[in-house]
Amino acid sequence: MSHAFYVTASYVAAFAVTFGLVLWVWLDHRGRHRELQRLEAAGIRRRSARSEDAR
Amino acid sequence: MSEPSLAIRKFSDLANPTRFLALVSTVWPWLAGLTLCLFAIGLYLSFTGLGDYQQGETVRIMYVHVPAAWLSMMCYTVMALSALGTLVWRHPLADVSAKAAAPIGACFTLVALITGSLWGKPMWGTWWVWDARLTSVFVLFLMYLGLIALNRAMDDPTRAAKVSAVLILVGFVNIPIIKFSVEWWNTLHQPASVIRMDGPTIDPAFLWPLLVMAIAFTMLFFTLHILAMRNEILRRRIAVLRRHAARSAGDAA
C-alpha cells in the first residue's frame, strides 16, 4: 500500500469520528430541546419558570 | 472590589445553570467559527507543506495524530479538575462538565489510536505493539468507556457523580504514565519532540502546521464540551420535571 493510502485513511478516520461526535451532540440537543418543549406544553414547568411568568 | 474576589464571584455565577446556558448560547457560535477557521488554515498548511525526508508523505498523519493524542490527555485533565470541583468545592456544574467530557475524550483517544496505527504500519512495519505508550493510551480509552458506562448504569445522579469523581481522580495516575512512558521504558514509539524541557526538536516547517492543528482541536474540544454540558443540563431538567409530574400525578390520585 502506498503512503497516500495511510494518509488518506488517517484523515478520513479522524473526520468520521469527529463528524460523528458533532452529529451526536447536535441530535442530543435537538432531542432534549423537543422533550423539554413537550413537557412545558403539557403544563409541566420548572418552579423558576413559573415564577418568571408570574412576574 | 479586588480582582480575585471578582473572579471568584464570576466563577460562582456560573454555578447557576440558567446563567451558564445563556453564556453558552452567546459563546458557542463564535467558538465554532474560530474552530472552523483554524481547521481551514491548519489543513491548508498540513497539505501544502513538504514531506519529511525520511517519513515521506506519512508525516502528514502527525497533524491529526498528535493533536488528538494531546487532547485525549487534556480532556482527562479537565475531567480530573471537574472531579475536584465535585468533591472539594461541590460546584453544581462540575459533575456536568466531567460527564459531558467523557465521550469527547473517548473520541479523541480513538482518533489517536486509529491514526497512530495507520502511521505505525508504514513506519514501524506493524499496526500495533504492546509497548508502554500504546498500551497506556489504550488503557485511557478503556477508562473513558468505563466512566461513560458507570454514569449510565447508576440511577442516582448524586451518587454517580461522587463515584465517578473518585474513579476519575484515581485514573489520573495514567496521564503522567502516558506522558513519560517513552522516557521511563524502551518503547517503539518515539520520545517527545515538541513539549520538552530543552524546546522542540521538530523543524519549524512541521511545527507550525502542527501547532495550528493543535489549537484547532483544542477549540473543537471546548466548543463540543460546552454544547455537551448544555445537553446534560437539559437532560437533568427533564428528569426533574418528570419526577415532579409523577409526584403530582401520585398526589392527585
Q: ipTM of the assembly?
A: 0.87
Where would I find the H helices in A1-55?
A: 3-41, 47-54
Q: What is the pTM of this model?
A: 0.89
Average pLDDT over residues B136-158: 92
Radius of gyration of chain B (CA): 21
- The per-residue pLDDT for A27 is 97
Fold of B23-248: Four Helix Bundle (Hemerythrin (Met), subunit A) (1.20.120)
For residue B238, give the nearest of A1, A29, A35 by CB distance.
Answer: A35
For residue A32, give the nearest of B68, B103, B238 by CB distance.
Answer: B238
Average pLDDT over residues A9-35: 96
- The per-residue pLDDT for B1 is 45
Instruction: State which residue of chain B sits closest to A42, comparing Cα positions.
Output: B245
B168 pLDDT above the threshold of 60: yes
Q: What is the dihedral of CA B80, B82, B88, B89, to 10 degrees?
A: 160
- The per-residue pLDDT for B7 is 67
Mean pLDDT computed over every residue of chain B: 89
